[in-house]
Structure 1
Amino acid sequence: MAGSIRPHTFTARDLVGGHLVIDLVNTVTARDAEPVDWLDGYPRLLEWAALTGHFSPADLTALRQLADADPGAAGSALDRIRELREALHELLTALIHQDAPAPAEALAQVEKDWKSAVARARLTLHGTSPQPRVDVGTSGLDHLRHELALRAFDLLRALPPERARVCPGGRCGWLFLDSSRGGRRRWCSMATCGNAAKGRTHYQRNRAAAPQE
């Protein structure tokens, strides 16, 4: 990713993707302008993970302790999750735009991370469905990457292209799944990009209607 890295305090309004993996991709903002990476360190990644509600507090505490004990290893683990994130962005964007062929390097990166996760997973039953599960004990600081890689595989298999979107808002470019009844959602969020676009349209109309001096 060509851009800058800046600290960011994650809030619920940053989780608009409709899927955990898409919310990871959206930890970079302004992809359509000058991208800004909000994951400025492994602790920030853990803050994001806690906010999503998809990871147990016990696992996140264990990861925090591992990161505190070896900051260098935590930094390397963060670099690896960034690589996965950028490959997923490229691949999901290609699928949304129905580009062909799929980007080979991005596909290879996701495959690499998925294989790494599966190698450390154990097969469990979730209801009546067998699923691979990873834990901190086997994955260490890569636990979040492995969990996200497994979930990414499931998302890519079942991605509904007619419901997957790229937000057209200025300095945005976030991805999201449109779960609205009519399937007409355009913006990642009406509270941010939607209202900003309405404000610009209103301003332009008023300006055009103003008498010329």
Structure 2
Amino acid sequence: MTGTIQPHPFHPRDLVGGHPVIDLLNTVTARNAEPVDWLDAYPRLLEWAGLTGHFTPADLTALRQLAETEPARAERALTRVRELREALHDLITALAHGAPAPAEAVARVEDHWKHAAAHARLTAHGATPGLHVTVEASGLDLPRHALALQALDLLRTLPNDRTRVCPGHRCGWLFLDTSRAGRRRWCSMATCGNSAKGRTHYARKRAGEGQGEP
């Protein structure tokens, strides 16, 4: 990603993707204009992770403590999260547009998944076995490992015809369209949808004023 890095306090309204991996891609905004990366530091990543509901408070507390004692390693771990994010963005965006999966992106996602799997343990919660990561095994890479494992699960079942890219002004976020009719256009009506309506209304008003001039 070529763009700027800018601090952004995350809020629940920022999670509109329908899956934590999709929401990770949306930690960059304005991809269709001048991209801005909201993950300005490792603690910001943990702030975002806490909002997703897919990381335990105990793990996040342990990661914050690790990041405070090893800031250089935390920064490198964040860089690797960004690398995973961009590889997944290239791959999922291509699939959403009905294009072939980019070989380079596939290879990069595979590398991240293999690294995650090497640090994971197979456990069974109820009747469903799965790979799970721990702070003890993954350290500061736990968010990346967890997201890489979730990414493979998502890619196996990704509904390409329901994976959308928001056309909003300075947006480009991705989301899974789970609406009954499958006609959702905007990442959020409260932001991009209403903004587009406002611009359309203004353009029509201006056009009407122009036609009324002598």
Whether the TM-score (by the shorter chain) exceeds 0.5 is yes
Percent of aligned pairs with the same residue? 70
2: CA distance, partners of 1:154 / 1:200: 39
Amino acid paired to 1:171: R
Cα deviations by residue, 1:13-63 (Å, 9 ceiling, x for unpaired): 100000000000000000000000000000100110111111100000000
Unaligned runs of 5+ in 1: none
Residue 212 of structure 1: aligned partner: 213
Alignment of structure 1 residues 27-176 onto 2, 5 Å: 27-100=27-100, 102-176=101-175
Cα deviations by residue, 1:138-158 (Å, 9 ceiling, x for unpaired): 000000000000000000110
SS of structure 2 residue aligned to 1:162? helix
Amino acid paired to 2:171: C
Residue 179 of structure 1: aligned partner: 178
Residue 203 of structure 1: aligned partner: 202
SS of structure 1 residue aligned to 2:156? helix
Residue 19 of structure 1: aligned partner: 19
Cα deviations by residue, 1:158-186 (Å, 9 ceiling, x for unpaired): 00011110000010000000111111100
Figure out how many residues of one structure are paired with residues of the other and give that number: 212
1: CA distance, partners of 2:23 / 2:81: 13
Q: TM-score, normalised by structure 2?
A: 0.97
SS of structure 1 residue aligned to 2:161? coil
Q: TM-score, normalised by structure 1?
A: 0.98
Cα deviations by residue, 1:110-156 (Å, 9 ceiling, x for unpaired): 10010001101111123322211111110000000000000000001
